[in-house]
Structure 1
Amino acid sequence: MVFQWIGIATTTYLAIKLVYYLAQGAYLYFFRTYPDFNKYGKWSVITGATDGIGKETAFQLASRGQNIALISRNTERLKNVAKEIESKHNVQTKCLTIDFSDDEEIYDKIADFLQGLDIGTLVNNVGTDQEIARFLEQSNLSLIIRNLVRLNIMSILKMTQIVLPGMVEQKRGLILNLSAFPILHPIGKYAIMNATKSFVDLFSRALSYEYESEGITIQVYFISSKFLA
């Protein structure tokens, strides 16, 4: 009987959480409003900016008058996206080719690249969900652990470390971190991915609590990962 009540309580909790996120998503879709991004600063920084949501976010921010700093691993795509943004919107762009699965030395390059920019918005979009087997059955477990941690956790921590001090100094800023709906419940064969995406949610909410009083908005947005399609 005790286990039955625990099961009911757990199911109810997960159902309420799911309804909350679905309602939040529906509200944003049907009743969304856009902030004045320029009140935060003149530049937006976007990681993973050459494809999918990252690319679309870059165009949306550019359409609202933001200069765009694009960071991604494909030089040719970066140049094409930057050129297209500048041709459609009267804004500036900067590009930096970075593979976030590389060693931490990449963040020195990123810090130099962003030096002197009036950064108002940071979009941490880069990430991965490569995992298709039980934990010990991964064909290259060490590499998968490294990539998932570096792309889904380290990238957000280090990018925030680089950009947040300037926001604190200016008493304004917006940080958007992208996560995935699978954090709502465990998914077999995606244990590491589940954990790293849950980190994004918890880190974002904790950081928001820490810096909200200093005029900085920090939010996490949930997207549907490819393996759910």
Structure 2
Amino acid sequence: MNSNFQKKYGPWALVTGASDGIGRALAIEIAKVGLNLIIVGRNNERLEKLGSEIQKKFNVIVKIIAIDLAKNESNKALISQINQYEIGLFAAIAGFGTSGDFFKGKIQDELEMIDVNCRSVVEQTYYFANRFVTQKRGGIILMGSLVGFQGVPYSANYAATKAFIQNFAEGLHFELKQFGVDVLSSAPGPVQSGFGKRANLNMGNAASTEVVAEKTIQALGYMVTIRPGFLSKFLGWSLIILPRIMRIYIMRIIMGKMAK
């Protein structure tokens, strides 16, 4: 796998949201197959620590970019720092969620979530899609979610951002395939990461970030959507046979129990 993976997606990969959680685990998984890394996140200290850990353990180079993708012009600043690198893999993992009654939350948090989870991803993906089509190879990993396949009470806006990503990934998969570019949506259920704390959720029966990262890399180039983790698979396939209104009702019960 390593030589083929390096040829198609190397020599550099860029991972956003690499400070912790799935982004961190995915950066390590990519390093295992021999790609140099550009890791992007808000927390410079954590990025430095991860970069040092990866370079000691794997024979790859790591570049660190500490940036807040919610801020205006952040994507232009990011792109200006990576033009000189031969990147073949882009993983848009940065994102966050909220939970509880939408009308009781802070509107600034909800709008910022749309900026990070959707607007920023579209801007970054546009840049990399053009690069990868020109070089006639590459891979794009977008972070979907189990909640992105129907409306989800008590996480309405977050679920909507993930529905956007799911549809975006599915469309791009078939647009870019003819140019040798692979697009994958990774749609896990609950994951053991910092996401639950920021979203104010009790993450029971959660999958490990390592499992999500490993299964995601294995699926790239072979699938449109991967549902890593047992709970994501179980709920995904058990809910899919139900009418949409019933799926929403069931997710209301599940999310109601998870929301603190």
Above 0.5 in TM-score?
A: yes
Structure 1 position 194 matched with structure 2 position 163: no
Q: Percent identity?
A: 26
SS of 1:223's equivalent in the other structure is coil
Equivalent of 1:145 in 85, 110, 116:
110
Q: Which residue of 2 aligns with 1:167?
A: 132
Counterpart contact for 1:37–1:120, Cα < 8 Å: no
Q: Matches of residues 59-70 of structure 1 in structure 2 within 5 Å?
A: 59-70=28-39
Count of matched residue pairs: 193
SS of 2:81's equivalent in the other structure is helix
Q: Which residue of 2 aligns with 1:120?
A: 88
Q: Which residue of 2 aligns with 1:177?
A: 142
Which one has the largest radius of gyration? 1
AA of the residue aligned to 1:61: I
Structure 2: where are the runs of 5+ without partners? 191-195, 205-260
Counterpart contact for 2:95–2:117, Cα < 8 Å: yes
CA change 1:59–1:216 in 2 (3 A) is same
Q: Please, which moves more after superposition, 33-42 or 179-188?
A: 33-42
CA change 1:93–1:183 in 2 (3 A) is same
Structure 1 position 90 matched with structure 2 position 59: yes
1:193-229 deviation digits (Å, cap 9, x = unpaired):
1110000100001111111100000010111243353
AA of the residue aligned to 1:150: D
Counterpart contact for 1:126–1:155, Cα < 8 Å: no
Structure 1 position 216 matched with structure 2 position 184: no
Measure, in 1, the Cα distance between the counterparts of 2:111 and 2:2. 36
Equivalent of 1:56 in 22, 25, 39:
25
CA change 1:34–1:219 in 2 (3 A) is farther
Tell me by how many angstroms 1:163 deviates. 1.7
SS of 2:52's equivalent in the other structure is helix
1:77-123 deviation digits (Å, cap 9, x = unpaired):
111100111000111111101112211x1111111111111111111
Counterpart contact for 2:2–2:33, Cα < 8 Å: no
Counterpart contact for 1:131–1:144, Cα < 8 Å: no
Tell me by how many angstroms 1:129 deviates. 1.0
Tell me by how many angstroms 1:145 deviates. 2.4
Q: Which residue of 2 aligns with 1:36?
A: 4
Tell me by how many angstroms 1:155 deviates. 2.1
Which TM-score applies when normalising by structure 1? Answer: 0.80
Measure, in 2, the Cα distance between the counterparts of 1:36 and 1:147. 38
Q: Which residue of 2 aligns with 1:29?
A: none
Counterpart contact for 2:137–2:179, Cα < 8 Å: yes
Tell me by how many angstroms 1:35 deviates. 8.5
Tell me by how many angstroms 1:34 deviates. 7.6
AA of the residue aligned to 1:132: G
Which TM-score applies when normalising by structure 2? Answer: 0.71
Tell me by how many angstroms 1:136 deviates. 2.4
SS of 2:187's equivalent in the other structure is strand
Tell me by how many angstroms 1:144 deviates. 2.2
SS of 1:166's equivalent in the other structure is helix
Measure, in 1, the Cα distance between the counterparts of 2:34 and 2:45. 24
Q: Which residue of 2 aligns with 1:9?
A: none
Measure, in 1, the Cα distance between the counterparts of 2:5 and 2:45. 28
SS of 1:95's equivalent in the other structure is strand
